[in-house]
Chain A
Amino acid sequence: MSLLELNRIGHAFFGRTVLEGITLTVERQEIVALVGPSGSGKSTLAHIAAGLVEPREGRVARRYLRHAMVFQDPRLMPWATAAGNIGFPLRLSRAPRRMRRRMIGDAALRAGLLPEDLGKYPSELSGGMRQRAAIARALVTDPDFIYFDEPFTALDVALKRRMQDLVIEAAASARFAALFITHDLLEAIRISHRILVLDAGGRGIAGERLPPGNPGTRDEAAIFALRQHYLTADPLFAHIHDIDERLRP
């Protein structure tokens, strides 16, 4: 049984069809990267899968116990400290107060936040630290499924790689499955078990590729070579960098 199953999902914004006939599955403990050109409806698909957007057609079957999401922007509550933000899902799930502090500390540590950062407000944290807090917030309830909606797009290259390693490590130890939306092919290859390519017009999944090996075990040279191969020799990725910024998201 797949943890997540999307069946012939379709959606439209302002009368313009952005997604049509999308069918995909994510298995237990599998990280699936969904790549596609900007404006192809990747984020919308993640939001539909997570239940934030009601699809116009199609069915979503969620068989996991608990999900979490890391958004493109950190989406931290500015009035709460890092600890308050990380603990927000615990507050919503009514976890006992005594346990919260330990769970928050654990999640923060896994996301690379130090205990002294926990008392700071988001405005006192740097961009990378804020995204770390957002990741810790996603990890804190120990979900078995996490949606990543282009989480590292706004970060610089070095920071991005560190965050990717963090996700790879967390996925290996916490054993969650994930749908990772990105338009960075290198990121997709580094982080995922399976890469799905969304059709440029949002009409179905154009195809899938399985990078050899497991995330975290592939060496950098091989990842880079694979990316070059995908971009130059693989027709599936021909339109991956097409951008039409006039289209609405």
Chain B
Amino acid sequence: MSLLAACLDRLARLGRFLWSAWAGLAGLALIGALWQAGHEAYGDFILTAPLDTLAAAARLLHEGRAQELLALTTARALAGFGLCALIGTLAGVAAGYSPATLRLSRPVLTLLLGVPPIAWIVLAMIWFGPSDMTVAVTILISATPVVFVGAVEGVVTRDRGLDDMARVFGAGPLRRFLFVSARQISAQLFPALILALGSAFKVAIMAELLANAGGIGGALARARAMLDIAEALAWVSLAVAALIAVEYVLIRPVRAELERWREAAAPWGVKR
């Protein structure tokens, strides 16, 4: 009975989500229109028509090599993202609970954020050569601070009253963390994770391009060398599509599941 109700609730949510895709489609159509206008103003060489770009992307996908490259870049980005999510979350939670660690890590963070990602790519290239490691390390260094800060915020802004409540009812430190604090931390952590995932993809492609490590970045470099605008734009579209696919398959469902209560609180008609 309750299982059925839960399934129906999920289905309703999925339906609402799919229905909201019309708004997304309208936004995409707007971008397409601007793109087309730019194409008509500046010509094929500067900006290929959107339809031609789509055709080029489809051709790349059908030729087979594109899927391989997409998979390679996605795997690299996900590996870097996974690493940075793990390390950032663990370190952030630890620092959130220990003010001394937090005070120590603040300047480190400022320093890390101050170094441009491009510098890390150069260093990683020297250390690891054009390999997966270069990409992973660059992602790790450039995306971890965001996750770290999200986790720290989650710990620091948690409702301590709920901690006391759990303690009165007999929860030890571990179960207080698992049952009460973890949920509050995740609310702050998810936006940070989504941001980190996006930057993982961007940094992966940038690192590939500069380190000549293959993947989409490598293909992009080749398209630039050949001055093939249609192909370059096609690769960009494919990369964006991959990012969106990963975000909506991997992170959004988990977040929606954890934040069901927030949706319940929204008045009717405001539900997204």
Interface residues of A (CB under 8 A from B): 47, 50-52, 67-69, 71, 73, 75, 77-81, 88-89, 91-93, 119-124, 137, 141, 147
Contact = CB atoms under 8 A, between A and B. Distances in A.
17 contacts: A52-B164, A52-B167, A71-B165, A75-B162, A75-B164, A75-B165, A78-B265, A88-B166, A92-B170, A92-B171, A92-B179, A121-B265, A123-B264, A123-B265, A124-B264, A124-B265, A141-B169
B63 to A, nearest CB: 47
A245 to B, nearest CB: 21
A134 to B, nearest CB: 9
Contact of B170 (A93, A124, A137): A93
A121 B164 contact: no
B171 to A, nearest CB: 5
A88 B165 CA distance: 10
Contacts of B168: 50-52, 67-69, 147
B161 A75 contact: yes
Nearest to A79: B261
Contacts of B164: 47, 52, 71, 75
Given A88-B179, A89-B169, A122-B261, 7 more contacts: A52-B164, A68-B168, A75-B162, A77-B162, A79-B259, A121-B260, A124-B264
A124 B260 CA distance: 12
Interface of B: 5, 161-162, 164-171, 175, 179-180, 183, 258-261, 264-265
Contact of A77 (B170, B183, B258, B264): B183
B6 to A, nearest CB: 10
A120 B179 contact: no
A107 to B, nearest CB: 13
Most buried by B among A92, A93, A119, A147: A92
B184 to A, nearest CB: 8
Contact of B169 (A47, A81, A88, A123): A88
A40 to B, nearest CB: 20
Q: Across chains A and B, which 4 residue pairs bring their CB atoms closest together, nearest first?
A: A123-B265, A89-B169, A121-B261, A75-B165
A122 B264 CA distance: 10
A81 B264 CA distance: 10
A81 to B, nearest CB: 8
Contacts of B261: 78-81, 121-123
Nearest to B264: A121
Most buried by A among B5, B168, B171, B179: B168
A147 B164 CA distance: 13
B128 to A, nearest CB: 42
Q: Which of A79, A120, A122 has the most CB of B within 10 A?
A: A79
Nearest to B259: A79
A103 to B, nearest CB: 14
A50 B164 CA distance: 10
B166 to A, nearest CB: 7
Nearest to A141: B169
Listed residue (A50, A77, A123) with the most chain B CB atoms within 10 angstroms of its CB: A77
A79 B170 contact: no
B179 A79 contact: no
A215 B124 CA distance: 75
Contact of A73 (B161, B166, B170): B161
Nearest to A66: B170
Given A75-B161, A77-B183, A79-B258, A92 B264 contact: no
Nearest to A101: B2
Contacts of A50: 168
A69 B5 CA distance: 32
Contacts of A119: 5
Contacts of A81: 261
Contacts of B179: 88, 91-92
B168 to A, nearest CB: 4
A122 B164 CA distance: 18
Contact of B161 (A71, A79, A120): A71
Contacts of B5: 119
A89 B175 CA distance: 12
A68 B165 CA distance: 9
Contacts of A52: 164, 167-168
Contacts of A88: 166, 169, 179
A67 B170 CA distance: 9
Nearest to B170: A92
Contacts of A71: 161, 164-165
